[in-house]
Amino acid sequence: MDKVFVEGLEVLTTIGVYDWEKDIKQKLRFDLEMGFNTAPAAKEDDINKALDYATLSQVVTEFVAAHQFELLETMAERVAELIFARFAVQFVKVRLTKPNAIVNAQGVGVEILRTRKV
């Protein structure tokens, strides 16, 4: 299975369990990897047969910016569900990082892997 990926997609959103986090925007970084057969697009050099990562990035960015969750786990799960709903991918890996959430760490986060149910 071929893979299409988007690395380092940064989005400002409201996320967190603490009261002070509910009133501010914080940056989240997404690394997305999707299973997608790229052969038809490559054969015909046709964007309409490809997984359009620009469109995918825009869809994810708009969703994340418009929704508020407390947990990174919830955000990652909802992004995976969104990708399955909008794009014909076989699997999606979502690595979600919250930079600078801990003073002495570059970031914390979660990584999930979901496979399309048949």
Q: Measured between alpha carbons, how far is 63 from 60 in angstroms, rounded to an integer?
A: 5
Of 25, 27, 43, 98, which is the active-site residue?
Answer: 98
Residues 6 or more apart from 18 whose CB is under 8 A from it?
none
27 catalytic residue (yes or no): no
If we measure between CA atoms, which residue out of 43, 63, 54, 56 comes closest to residue 89?
56
Active site residues: 98
